[in-house]
C-alpha cells in the first residue's frame, strides 16, 4: 500500500505538468499559425513575390521542392520559429531541461538562417542589376561578348553572396572559405598566365611606345627647364638692378 501510494502521488504530481505542457503546446500552435497567416498576407500586400521573382529567390524555393510561393515560405519560417519558442516553454513546464537546451540552440541558429536568406535575395537583385548594366555598357561600347561579361558579373556576385551566407549560417565555413580562396587564386593565376603567354608582344609594343614617347619628350622637358632657369636668372638680375638704383 505504501509503494502504491507513492506511485500514485508521483503520477498525480506529474498530471499538472502534462496538462500545462499540452495547454502551452496547443495554444502556441494556433498562435503560430495565425501569425504565419498574417505575415503571408502582409508580404503579398507589399508584392514581395515580385521582388523574390526578380532576384531569383522564387526559383530557388521551387528547386527546393517546396510548393509554396516566396511569401508562404518565409511565413512558414516565422511559424516554425514561434513553434520552437512554444516547444521550449512547454518542455520547461514539463520539467525536461535537456530537451529545452537543444531546442534553444536550434532557436538561436534560425536568425542566422534568416539573415543568410536575406543576403541571397539582395544578392539576386544586385546580380541581375549589375548584369543588365554591364550588358548594356559593353553592347554600347562594342567590347567583347556582352552576354558573357554579364554572366561573369552575375556569377561573381552570387559567389561572394554564397560565401557570406554560408559564413552566416556557420556550415563548413573553413572549407568554403578555403575553396573560395583557391578558386580566386586559380583565376588570378590563369589570367596572369594567359596575359603573360598570349600578350607578350602586345605588352612589349606598349612598353616600347611608352619608351619612345618618353625619349621624344625628354628634349622638350630639358628646353622647358632651361627656359625656366633663364627666366629665373633674368628676374634675379632685374631685382639686383632695382636694388642698386
**Do the domain assignments include residue 226?**
no
**Do the domain assignments include residue 23?**
yes
What's the angle, vertex CA 77, arms to CA 71 and CA 82, rounded to 5?
Answer: 125
Tracing cell 580566386 back to the chain, one arrives at 184
In the numeric block, which cell numbers belong to residue 95?
520539467
**Do the domain assignments include residue 235?**
no
What's the angle, vertex CA 103, arms to CA 97 and CA 105, rounded to 5?
Answer: 105
- How confident is the model at residue 234, as a pLDDT? 59
- How confident is the model at residue 81, as a pLDDT? 83
pTM here is: 0.53
**Do the domain assignments include residue 71?**
yes
Residue 47 region, left (φ>0) first, then alpha (ψ -120 to 50), else beta?
Answer: left
Domain span at residue 21?
10-95
- As a residue count, the chain comes to 245
**Do the domain assignments include residue 22?**
yes
**Do the domain assignments include residue 90?**
yes
- How confident is the model at residue 194, as a pLDDT? 64
- How confident is the model at residue 204, as a pLDDT? 66
Q: Average pLDDT for consecutive 10-residue bins of the chain (245 residues)?
A: 74 76 87 88 83 72 72 83 84 76 76 79 79 77 72 80 79 70 72 63 67 67 67 57 54
- How confident is the model at residue 196, as a pLDDT? 63
Tracing cell 622638350 back to the chain, one arrives at 220
In the numeric block, which cell numbers belong to residue 105?
540552440
Whole-number Å distance between alpha carbons of 116 and 173 = 13
- How confident is the model at residue 90, as a pLDDT? 82
Q: What is the domain count for the chain?
A: 1
**Do the domain assignments include residue 105?**
no
**Do the domain assignments include residue 164?**
no
Cα dihedral 63/65/68/72 (nearest 10): -80
Amino acid at each position: 500500500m505504501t509503494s502504491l501510494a507513492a506511485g500514485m502521488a508521483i503520477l498525480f504530481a506529474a498530471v499538472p505538468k502534462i496538462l500545462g505542457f499540452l495547454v502551452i503546446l496547443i495554444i502556441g500552435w494556433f498562435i503560430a499559425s495565425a501569425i504565419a497567416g498574417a505575415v503571408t498576407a502582409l508580404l503579398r500586400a507589399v508584392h514581395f513575390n515580385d521582388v523574390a521573382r526578380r532576384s531569383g529567390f522564387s526559383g530557388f524555393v521551387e528547386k527546393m521542392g517546396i510548393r509554396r510561393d516566396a511569401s508562404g515560405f518565409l511565413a512558414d519560417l516565422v511559424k516554425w520559429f514561434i513553434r520552437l519558442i512554444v516547444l521550449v516553454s512547454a518542455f520547461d513546464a514539463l520539467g525536461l531541461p535537456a530537451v529545452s537546451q537543444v531546442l534553444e540552440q536550434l532557436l538561436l541558429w534560425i536568425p542566422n538562417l534568416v539573415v543568410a536568406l536575406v543576403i541571397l535575395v539582395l544578392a539576386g537583385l544586385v546580380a541581375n542589376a549589375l548584369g543588365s548594366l554591364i550588358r548594356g555598357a559593353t553592347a554600347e561600347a562594342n567590347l567583347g561578348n556582352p552576354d558573357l561579361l554579364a554572366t561573369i558579373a552575375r556569377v561573381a556576385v552570387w559567389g561572394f553572396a554564397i560565401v557570406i551566407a554560408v559564413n552566416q549560417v556557420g556550415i563548413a565555413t573553413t572549407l568554403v572559405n578555403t575553396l573560395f580562396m583557391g578558386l580566386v587564386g586559380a583565376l588570378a593565376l590563369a589570367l596572369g598566365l594567359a596575359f603573360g603567354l598570349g600578350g607578350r608582344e602586345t605588352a612589349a609594343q606598349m612598353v616600347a611606345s611608352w619608351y619612345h614617347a618618353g625619349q621624344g619628350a625628354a628634349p622638350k622637358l630639358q628646353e622647358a627647364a632651361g627656359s625656366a632657369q633663364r627666366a629665373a636668372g633674368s628676374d634675379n638680375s632685374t631685382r639686383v638692378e632695382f636694388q642698386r638704383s
